[in-house]
Amino acid sequence: MVKQKPITLLHLSDMQFGPHHRFEGPSSPGSLLQRLRDDLERLRDEEGIRPDLVLLTGDLTEYGMKSQFDQLLSFAHGLTEVTELAPRRVVVVPGNHDVNWKLCQAHPLARPQALCSRRVARRPARRPRARAHRAPPL
């Protein structure tokens, strides 16, 4: 049996690029990409660890706006340079924040609204039934 090399994943989730992105602006702790570069270089140099695959998952943007996806794309390109991975080695899985709900609801095929609604249909509430419970004898 041939021993296979383990796969190292870099999994980043809930980055929420947009106006309130925590790694941008004057009070930020520093660029997310720069902080990742520093950490990945340290892992490579000290531990010999390099990611084989990058997963960018869930809530990549704040509101699913084009400008926020542009920020994400710029970040992803920078990440491929930092990791020295081909773009095909980056897997993107969107989350609910990555849907522009207003645009979705305005689409003509979104009728009835339930097709594009974030609300889950609820069953009518059942009336509570009174039940008698007896404590078991001691």
- Has residue 4 been placed in a domain? no
- How many domains does one find in the chain? 1
Q: In the chain, count H helices and then E strands.
A: 3, 3
Instruction: State residue 112's pLDDT score.
Output: 52
Inter-residue contact 54 to 12 (CB < 8 Å):
yes
Q: What is the pLDDT of residues 43-69, one digit of tens each?
A: 999 999 999 999 999 899 999 999 999
- Has residue 124 been placed in a domain? no
Q: What is the pLDDT of residues 1-32, one digit of tens each?
A: 788 888 999 999 999 998 887 776 555 556 88
Neighbours of 51 (CB within 10 A): 21
Instruction: State residue 110's pLDDT score.
Output: 61
Inter-residue contact 60 to 98 (CB < 8 Å):
yes
Instruction: State residue 106's pLDDT score.
Output: 74
Instruction: State residue 43's pLDDT score.
Output: 96
Instruction: State residue 83's pLDDT score.
Output: 95
117/64 Cα distance (integer angstroms): 15
- Has residue 76 been placed in a domain? yes
Full domain range(s) for residue 69: 9-116
